[in-house]
Structure 1
Amino acid sequence: MRMNAEEVKSKQPKIKVDRVSKIFGRDPKRGIKMLEQGIGKEEIMKKTRLAVGVNNASFEVAEGEMLVVMGLSGSGKSTLLRCLNRLIEPTAGHVYVDGVDVTALSDAELRRLRQKKFGMVFQRFALLPHRTVQQNTEFGLEIQGMDAAQRAEKARSSLKLVGLEGWEDSYPEQLSGGMQQRVGLARALAVDPDVLFMDEAFSALDPLIRREMQDELLALQSRVHKTILFITHDLDEALKLGDRIIIMKDGSIVQNGTPEDILTNPATEYVEKFVEDVNLAKVLTARTVMHKASTVTFPKDGPKTALHKMKEVGISSILVVDRDRRLLGRVSADDASRLAKQNETSLESIILRDVTTVRPETPINEIFAEQEFPVAVTDEEERLQGLIVRGSLLAALAEGRLSS
C-alpha cells in the first residue's frame, strides 16, 4: 500500500542526500565552482569539456518508502543512484544511510555496507548463464561467505517470495524475461538488504510483462516494506509505483513530491509538459476530492439527535460511527423520523449497512463507476476518513483537474 505524505514525514530518514554533485572530466572541482556561480550544464561543457552528471541534489528517503527518480535520458537519474552507493564517486556532497556518512567510508567499510545494507536490481538481468536459478540467487550470500546450507535456505525463501518456487534447478536461458528479472530481484532480496536500488529494472521487458512486474513489486513491497529507490524514464511507471517522485532535468532535481503533487501542482514548465497528457482520473485518488465528514452521528445519539444534525446541514441521511470513528453504516431521515414517533431512543434497528466505501488511495476513475453516492472513505481499520459526493467529482472535472 502506498505511503501517504503524512506517513513519510513521520518516519525517520533512512537515506539523506546532502548537496550531492557529480562532474565528469579532468579537475572536476572547476565545474563545482561554476555551478555555484549559477553557470549551466551546457555552458560548463562548452567552456571546460566537463560534463555535469548531478547538480546539487538534496533529498531524504523515509524507511519503507518507495521513491521513484525519473527523467529523460541524460537527466542524471542513474548517475545519482550510483552516487548513493558509490559505484560512482560523488564530486561533492554527502550521503548518509542510518546516519552513517557513506562518502567518508574506507573501501573495506564500503564493501561491508554494500553487502549488508544494499541490494541492486539492474535493467539487464545480469544473471550468470552457467549457474542455475538457485545458484544465481545465492551469489550475494556466497560472496558474504555464508555456509552452503544457510545460503541455500535463504535463496529458496527469496525465490518463493517472488513466485519462482519450483524453478530452482532451471537455467536463465530456460526462463522468460519477466522470470529472469524475478531471479534478479530474488538475488537482491536474499541478502535481506535495508535498501533496494532498482535501476530501470523493468525497462527491458515487453509492456504486458512490465505491468505484471510492477504489480508484483507493489504486492511484494506490501509484505517486505523495504526502502526502495526506483529509477525510470516512464511517467506512468513512476506514478504507479512511487510514494514520492523526484523529477530530474540536466542533472538537477526540478520537483520532489507525491504523485498528486506532481500532477496537480507542476513546479516548472518542464514538469507541466511531462504530465500534460496524463489522465488524472486514473492517477489521483479518493484523498484528493474527499471532504471531511464533520457531521456524523453515534448509536447512542438516538433518532431525534440524528434528525437535528441532518437538519442543521441540510442532508437526508447521516453516517453512523462508533467512538473510534469506525464506520457502522448510515441512517436515513425517514427512518429516524419514524423511530422518533415511536419514542425509540436507539438507532441500532435502523442502521443501514449498505454504505459504499473506498480506501484513500483508490483511483478516482474507479469511484466514477460507483452507482451510489455519497461514498465513504475509510482506512484499513474502517475508520472514517472523509466523504465523497458526486458533486465534488463533477466540480473537479469542471475545474479541469480531472479527465474522465
Structure 2
Amino acid sequence: MMQEKPVKLACRDVWKLFGEGAERFLAAQATAPGLPEIQAAGLVGAVRAANIEVRQGEIFVIMGLSGSGKSTLVRCLSRLIEPTAGEILFEDTDLLRASEREMIQIRRHKMGMVFQHFALLPHLTVLQNVAFPLEVQGVARTTREARALEIIELVGLKGREAYYPRELSGGQQQRVGIARSLAVEPEIWFLDEPFSALDPLIRREMQDEFLRLQSMLQKTIVFITHDFDEAIRLADRIAIMKDGAVIQVDTPEQLVLAPADDYVAEFTRHIPRAKVLSVRAVMQPGPPGGEVAGQVAAGDRIEAVADQVEAAGKPFAVVDETGAVVGSLDRRAVIDTLIGREKG
C-alpha cells in the first residue's frame, strides 16, 4: 500500500453550477441540493460538493462516463473555470482567494497542463513549441532552448527539434505537448484524456512512456480518463464521478474489492481481476505450512506472477516490503482470481 504523503492539492465541497443565479441559489440552500432541485432551478450541476485530496508524488486519476463532470472539476482545480462555491487548497493556499494575476503566475510557474487536443503552434518547430512557455515567462533564449532540449531528449524526441507539428505522427505530437508542459518544471501536472485520440498501440506506448517519465520525475499528477484499463495501469488512486459528484476515491484494488455502491460495482465489473488484485489480497495469511517453490512480493499484481505460480507444484512464500514472510500463494488462489471465482 502506498505510504501516506503530504496533501499537495485538495478541494473541499466544490460546486460548479452553470446558469443564471447559481451562486444565489446555492447560498439560499439549508442543505446540499440534489439534482432534481438544481434542475428545477434551471441550472446544470456540473460539479456537486466534490471533495478530493491529491498527495505529493502520486498519480491521481479522475474517471467517469461522458458528462460526469471530470473535466469540469479539473478546470475548477486550476481555476480555468471559476467554481460556484467551495475551497481549493494548493500547498495550503486557497486558490479561490488568489487574484487573477496571482493565478496566472501560479499556472505559468507551478502547473503543467496537457489536453486531448495537442494545441501545438503549427508555425513553430518542436524546439520552439517546447520552449514557448519559458518564452512567455521571459526566460532568455539560450536558457529556454537549453531547457527545451533537455526535455525533448527526456520524452524521446531527440533529433526532431527542427521538425514542425505537421511532420510528426500523432504520438510524437503528444510527446511535444507533454514536453511543453514539463518545460516549466511544474509542481502539479494536469492531464485531461491526453491519449484518447491516439490509436490503441500508440496509446499503450504513450502510457509506458508516461510511467517511465513519472518514475524519474515523481510529479504530482491529476489524470483524467474514461478508460478503466488505462486508469488501473497508471493510478495510485482513482476518483469515480457520476452526475457531477465524486462517488468513491480509492486504490484500483479497493474499487474492485469494496465498491461504494452499485454504480461503482458496475463500472468495475468487467475488469479482469488479475490485472487489479495484488498478491496480498488473495494470499493465505501466515507462514507457509511446508516447502515452497520460491517467493513473490505482496504488492505484485496477480497477472504478473500467475504463470510462475501456476507452473509450480508448490505454493510460493509471500514477502512484504521488508522481506518478511507474510503469507503464501498457491495455484488454486491464482486460478480462482483468473476465472473470477470467489474464495470458498
Q: Give the TM-score normalised by the residue count of structure 2.
A: 0.92
CA offsets per residue over residues 44-73 of structure 1, 9 Å max, x none? 22x222111100111111100000000011
Unaligned runs of at least 5 residues, structure 1: 296-314, 319-354
Match of 1:44 in 2: 38
Match of 2:329 in 1: 388
1:16 aligns with 2:10: yes
The separation in 2 between residues aligned to 1:397 and 1:366, in whole angstroms, is 12
2:247 aligns to what SS in structure 1? strand
The separation in 2 between residues aligned to 1:262 and 1:401, in whole angstroms, is 16
Change (3 A) 1:111 1:221: same
CA offsets per residue over residues 354-383 of structure 1, 9 Å max, x none? x54444443213322112242344567756
Is the 2:60–2:222 contact (alpha carbons within 8 Å) kept by the matching residues of 1? Answer: yes
1:29 aligns with 2:23: yes
The separation in 1 between residues aligned to 2:11 and 2:78, in whole angstroms, is 11
The separation in 2 between residues aligned to 1:115 and 1:162, in whole angstroms, is 21
Cα distance, 1:168 vs structure 2: 0.5
2:333 aligns to what SS in structure 1? helix
Cα distance, 1:88 vs structure 2: 0.4
2:241 aligns to what SS in structure 1? strand
Structure of higher RCO (CA pairs closer than 8 Å, 6+ residues apart)? 2
Aligned match for 2:259, one of 258, 266, 282: 266
The separation in 1 between residues aligned to 2:16 and 2:162, in whole angstroms, is 42
Match of 1:101 in 2: 94
| Alignment map for 1:269-280 (pairs within 5 Å) | 269-280=262-273
Range 195-204 or range 27-36, more displaced? 27-36
Change (3 A) 1:392 1:20: same
1:256 aligns with 2:249: yes
Change (3 A) 1:40 1:374: same
1:78 aligns to what SS in structure 2? helix
The letter for the 2-side match of 1:20 is V
| Alignment map for 1:21-170 (pairs within 5 Å) | 21-33=15-27, 37-45=31-39, 47-170=40-163
Change (3 A) 1:356 1:129: farther
CA offsets per residue over residues 273-320 of structure 1, 9 Å max, x none? 11111111222222322344547xxxxxxxxxxxxxxxxxxx3337xx
CA offsets per residue over residues 52-103 of structure 1, 9 Å max, x none? 1100111111100000000011100000000011000111111111111111
The separation in 2 between residues aligned to 1:74 and 1:213, in whole angstroms, is 25
1:288 aligns to what SS in structure 2? helix
| Alignment map for 1:181-192 (pairs within 5 Å) | 181-192=174-185
Unaligned runs of at least 5 residues, structure 2: none
The separation in 2 between residues aligned to 1:185 and 1:379, in whole angstroms, is 35
Change (3 A) 1:289 1:143: same
1:366 aligns with 2:307: no
Cα distance, 1:136 vs structure 2: 0.3
Match of 1:226 in 2: 219
Is the 1:244–1:258 contact (alpha carbons within 8 Å) kept by the matching residues of 2? Answer: yes
Change (3 A) 1:27 1:241: same
1:369 aligns to what SS in structure 2? helix
Is the 1:71–1:77 contact (alpha carbons within 8 Å) kept by the matching residues of 2? Answer: yes
The letter for the 2-side match of 1:105 is A
2:101 aligns to what SS in structure 1? helix
1:317 aligns to what SS in structure 2? coil
The separation in 1 between residues aligned to 2:187 and 2:44, in whole angstroms, is 32
Cα distance, 1:36 vs structure 2: 5.6
The separation in 2 between residues aligned to 1:380 and 1:216, in whole angstroms, is 26
Cα distance, 1:391 vs structure 2: 3.8
The separation in 2 between residues aligned to 1:16 and 1:267, in whole angstroms, is 21
The separation in 1 between residues aligned to 2:38 and 2:217, in whole angstroms, is 44
| Alignment map for 1:202-241 (pairs within 5 Å) | 202-241=195-234
Is the 1:14–1:227 contact (alpha carbons within 8 Å) kept by the matching residues of 2? Answer: yes
The separation in 2 between residues aligned to 1:21 and 1:362, in whole angstroms, is 38
1:136 aligns to what SS in structure 2? helix
2:281 aligns to what SS in structure 1? helix
| Alignment map for 1:309-388 (pairs within 5 Å) | 315-317=289-291, 356-370=294-308, 371-372=311-312, 373-378=314-319, 384=325, 386-388=327-329
Is the 2:274–2:337 contact (alpha carbons within 8 Å) kept by the matching residues of 1? Answer: no
The letter for the 2-side match of 1:374 is P
The letter for the 1-side match of 2:12 is D
The separation in 2 between residues aligned to 1:179 and 1:134, in whole angstroms, is 13
The letter for the 2-side match of 1:28 is A
Is the 1:120–1:197 contact (alpha carbons within 8 Å) kept by the matching residues of 2? Answer: yes
Cα distance, 1:126 vs structure 2: 0.6
The separation in 1 between residues aligned to 2:207 and 2:323, in whole angstroms, is 27
Q: Which has the larger radius of gyration?
A: 1
Change (3 A) 1:151 1:286: same
Cα distance, 1:265 vs structure 2: 1.2
Is the 2:287–2:326 contact (alpha carbons within 8 Å) kept by the matching residues of 1? Answer: no
